[in-house]
Amino acid sequence: MSEVLERYRRTLPEHLRAAAEFLTRCQLREPWVSSGLLYGAVAPWELGHYLGAYEDFHDTLEAIWVWTLYTYVTGHEDYLENMDLALTYVRENYRRFVSRENPEYQYDAAHLLHTALALEKLLSRRDLESCTGTAAELCAEYLREVGERREWWRREYRDPWWVLTCLYLYSRERSWGNYTQFCRDLLYRVLSEEGDKFLTAPEEEPRHRGRGGHDFFCHTASRVIALTLLLSEEEPELVRRILREQLLPRLPKNFVTRHVDEHAWNAHLATALALAYHVTGTEEFLRTYDIIMEELWRRSRGTYVLPRSANFPLPESWVTYFYTQAHVALVLKLV
């Protein structure tokens, strides 16, 4: 499958450029906003359409992540101004979102760590350093709560596996050993308790609607991402065995139809399959990854930007981020 890998390597700069350019059209700045609290934020969709415009904290973090990856991969600085405006917005507003008063605080706190990690690791920028301590504390508090209640099944904005992954990766980068060990201990405990039921078939996941009518995370994918990124260096044989025994026999053969958010959900699954392929070398993971990504490409009509589902009227910033992340995961082995 070397030709598949080469194709994705070759097209990554093009994908990043298209996504990065689209996200500039979602940013609240001139001519739509010239100053004030929301200046620099990124909205869920391109501005100037009938759906209106409003700030979205995690969409802003996702846009910064894409602009960061574009800068790192291409070496070009086309979007540094957009990044700087968005980073100023995040620093000035994060306490409104990285707070238990926000019902989506788990997702926002995790995403803040995720974006800060990309900035620090890839561009040596610590623009969000002043915000990360609060975000890490909230992530750890939430994971303790989930662990005590054994509610590892929570989904979408409350998905504990994405929180676990982001807290672990950022803490490892900053050498926060207490948090990295805490994350690994939680994962080992769940693996011990759930055994061969740790991973389930993606196609059998429940179909529900969470906050805002969303169901954008493939829950199995979130578990695979956590498993591979937390333990593949420390316990490579354990990770390979779990992936081959629990995920491989349950792989979907095609793009998975979902009731809502199917583009983001499938892109998230593709991210997990890319990581599974790199850990195991098993070509079936890459084959299904390619099937999903080809369908997303077809549905984007070659633009690399997507709405949440085929029946949603506008391409969206957050879905475009999910799709971009899946491409990056295969080529750069990171999320």
**Cα–Cα dist 28/42, whole Å:** 6
pLDDT tens, residue by residue, 224-237: 999 999 999 999 99
With 90 as the cut, is the pLDDT of residue 32 above it?
no
83 Cα distance to chain centroid:
18
pLDDT tens, residue by residue, 76-133: 999 999 999 999 999 999 999 999 999 999 999 999 999 999 999 999 999 999 999 9
Q: Which two tokens stand for residue 250?
A: 């349950």
With 90 as the cut, is the pLDDT of residue 33 above it?
no
Residues 187/238, Cβ–Cβ less than 8 Å: no
With 80 as the cut, is the pLDDT of residue 243 above it?
yes
Tally Cβ neighbours within 10 Å of residue 196. Answer: 8
Domains of the chain with bracketed CATH: 2-332 (1.50.10.10)
CA distances from 279 to 10, 19, 122, 136, 229 (A): 22, 27, 22, 27, 10
**Cα–Cα dist 136/20, whole Å:** 27
**Cα–Cα dist 165/294, whole Å:** 27
Q: What is the pLDDT of residue 261?
A: 96
Q: What is the pLDDT of residue 211?
A: 82
Q: What is the pLDDT of residue 1?
A: 62
